[in-house]
Amino acid sequence: MADVKFLLTGDTSLSVEFGNEISEEINAKIRAFNIALADSKLPGIVETVPTYRSLMVHYDPGVIQYAPLVKRLQGLLGQLDHIEIPPSEVLEVPVLYGGEMGPDLDFVAQHNGKTPEEVIRIHTSTEYLIYMLGFTPGFTYLGGMSDEIATPRLKTPRVKIPGGSVGIAGSQTGVYPIDSPGGWQLIGRTPVKMYDPNRETPILPQAGQYIKFRSIGQEEYDQIAAQCEAGTYVCRTYPREEGGK
Amino acid sequence: MSITVLNPGLLTTVQDMGRVGYQQFGVSVSGVMDPRATSIANILVGNDEGEAVLECTMLGPQLRFDAANCIAITGGDLGPTLDGKPIPNYCAVSVEAGQVLRFTGPKTGCRAFIAFAGGLDIPVVMGSRSTYMKAKIGGLAGRKLAKDDVIGFRAPRTQLKNMKDRNLYPEFVPRDVYTVRVVMGPQDDAFTDAGVKTFFSETYTVTPEFDRMGCRLEGAVIEHKESGDIISDGIAFGAIQVPSAGKPIIMLADRQTTGGYTKIANVITADFRLIGQLKAGDKVRFEKVSIAHAQDALLTQRAALRLLRKSVDR
């Protein structure tokens, strides 16, 4: 991994940069390195933050200083090819499309010369890679949406979008984790709380996972919402089949 | 066993050393703007260094003590008084039930930190008591203090041993130009040589746009080679972002976890105590140091805190 760069981000963190583009290949390397680093139990590591093309590593210089840390990380990089990395996980997110929950579904369909049913079929047929989280707690930057349903943002953003709303902005798709203003075209809503500060796992999605949306009806929406309220709902996850890789 | 907020002041929040471990999920770290002043305040009243304190901004709050406790105030001098009589900063003070703590107005710096012996009764959310206003979590229901709020003490103390020794000469807070040390990176190579030279030779002025997220500076344009945009990456406390317009922004406690602007350099941890005190009109100059120098400075500061702890808790 000769092209990996170590960048200073102050005196208690550094950035391990794997490239200068947004690609699944680079993201896979970041994920592998993050897993290898966690498994290594290297003393002094405080937390890591995966982003599109780098892994930010926060550390305590009272335990390990910059130069020796870079040496240890370089050593880990050299072993990456020999470390078994578990397959990525898919997080299945149930969504009630259209109607009140997705007021822009018809517009997205119209814009692309499709029926609403076709938009739902296309939106639910892809596993979207979570490149990173940021912006607000639990907000996922997803890749891989089909251009067939790409739609520009609203000209005038909405003042308040309910948490759980699923939207499209250009060729991006994503879920609003909390109530916030925004200009995405809203096509549906999930009853699942992507972010709940008082839950044992406050944030469900993780960088390096994939999200797959599943279309549900009102009845199932209400059931899942009630289970979420009671704290008994568990979002389904399953290992991704690395077909063709 | 509590305090009642008679007047919340301009912006008073509960903060500790921040919410560590959740940046990968997009959760800002938050925490105090001046970790060193906070550590000292806590040591002076016998707390763990990371105990939650009240961070006061410019115009401090008015607090009535409904029970006795020992407190220490550090950071900028916002003019603390107890029942109208001035009390010293950087000194443990025992407060009786019924007394009122007020602040007359800032003399030096921008932020003061009030530590309470035994800590405040504030629930821990995701590992921290820090208030993160944007996500409405931590502290008092995720917001700043408001009139009539009541905040409980967990384990108040009417006296502390070696009370006379819990007294320090206040740390230096500049009145004119702040010289802040930085290490280069992560995107210093996105700037021209002239741009880097400008950054280190010019004096910058803090604009009115300064808050817990960041501090915008006005001054000579720092020249990029191409643009100030990058593919988003992580942002550390003290990162100096320079968007395409060429004006620097120092990123602070409530910063977003990731961002898409070039970062020319990062303030060293030993100098966070300075950038936590910046306010509109203050002047800032940047001085380049090596990473080894930065980490030595941090470890030296930590050693001094350990020494302080030994001397007051002996």
**Which residue range(s) make up the domain with A136?**
89-239
A70 and A185 both lie in a single domain: no
Mean pLDDT, chain A, whole residue set: 94
- What is the distance between the alpha carbons of residues B276 and A13, in angstroms, rounded to a whole number? 19
Average pLDDT, integer, range A96-112: 97
Q: What digits encode the pLDDT tens for the residues B159-194?
A: 999 999 999 988 877 777 999 999 999 999 999 999
A117 and A222 both lie in a single domain: yes
A66 and A14 both lie in a single domain: yes
Chain A, residues 131-160, CB within 8 A of chain B, namely: 132-139, 141
pLDDT given for residue A242 in this prediction = 65
pLDDT given for residue A245 in this prediction = 39
**Secondary structure (DSSP) of B213-266:** SEEEEESSPPPBSS-SEEEEEE--TTEEE--TT---EEE-TT--SEEEE-EEEE
pLDDT exceeds 60 at position A179: yes
A139's tokens? 């907000």
The pTM assigned to this predicted structure is 0.94
Q: What digits encode the pLDDT tens for the residues B250-303?
A: 999 999 999 999 999 999 999 999 999 999 999 999 999 999 999 999 999 999
Residue A47 lies in a domain: yes
Residue A108 lies in a domain: yes
Total of domains in chain A = 2
Contacts of A10 in chain B (CB under 8 A): 183, 236-239, 266-269, 294
pLDDT exceeds 60 at position A25: yes
Residue A244 lies in a domain: no
A93 and A56 both lie in a single domain: no
Q: What digits encode the pLDDT tens for the residues A113-146?
A: 999 999 999 999 999 999 999 988 999 999 999 9
A14 and A121 both lie in a single domain: no
Q: What digits encode the pLDDT tens for the residues A229-239?
A: 998 999 999 99
Residue A245 lies in a domain: no
Contact state of A49 with B185 under an 8 Å Cβ cutoff: no
Contacts of A195 in chain B (CB under 8 A): 25
Residue A101 lies in a domain: yes
Closest CA to A104 of A222, A171, A188: A188
pLDDT exceeds 70 at position A32: yes
A123 and A218 both lie in a single domain: yes
A111 and A76 both lie in a single domain: no
Mean pLDDT, chain B, whole residue set: 96
Contact state of B239 with A203 under an 8 Å Cβ cutoff: no
pLDDT given for residue A244 in this prediction = 37
Contact state of A134 with B291 under an 8 Å Cβ cutoff: no
pLDDT exceeds 80 at position A31: yes
The model's confidence at residue A90, banded by pLDDT at 50, 70 and 90, is: very high
A156 and A173 both lie in a single domain: yes
Residue A219 lies in a domain: yes
pLDDT given for residue A122 in this prediction = 98
Residue A221 lies in a domain: yes
Which CATH number goes with the domain that contains A48?
3.30.1360.40
pLDDT exceeds 80 at position A1: no
A27 and A98 both lie in a single domain: no
- What is the distance between the alpha carbons of residues A224 and B159, in angstroms, rounded to a whole number? 54
Please tell me if residue B185 touches chain A, with a CB cutoff of 8 Å: yes
B109's tokens? 């710096």
Q: Which of A57, A82, A107 is the last residue of a domain?
A: A82
Contacts of B17 in chain A (CB under 8 A): none
Q: What digits encode the pLDDT tens for the residues B7-45?
A: 999 999 999 999 999 999 999 999 999 999 999 999 999
Which CATH number goes with the domain that contains A118?
2.40.100.10
Cross-strand partners of B55: B13, B113
Q: Which of A61, A82, A103 is the last residue of a domain?
A: A82
ipTM for this prediction: 0.96
A29 and A67 both lie in a single domain: yes
A201 and A173 both lie in a single domain: yes
Could you tell me if B102 and B9 are in contact, meaning their C-beta atoms sit under 8 angstroms apart? no
A111 and A189 both lie in a single domain: yes
- Count A/B contacts: CB-CB distance under 8 Å: 138
Q: What percentage of residues in chain A have a pLDDT greater than 70?
A: 98
A25's tokens? 């290949």
pLDDT given for residue A158 in this prediction = 92
pLDDT exceeds 80 at position A110: yes
Residue A117 lies in a domain: yes
Q: Which of A82, A116, A136 is the last residue of a domain?
A: A82
pLDDT given for residue B175 in this prediction = 73
Contacts of A58 in chain B (CB under 8 A): 23, 236
Q: What percentage of residues in chain B have a pLDDT greater than 90?
A: 96
For A44, A58, A61, B21, the CA distances from A69, given in Å and listed in that order, are: 9, 11, 9, 19
Average pLDDT, integer, range B45-56: 98
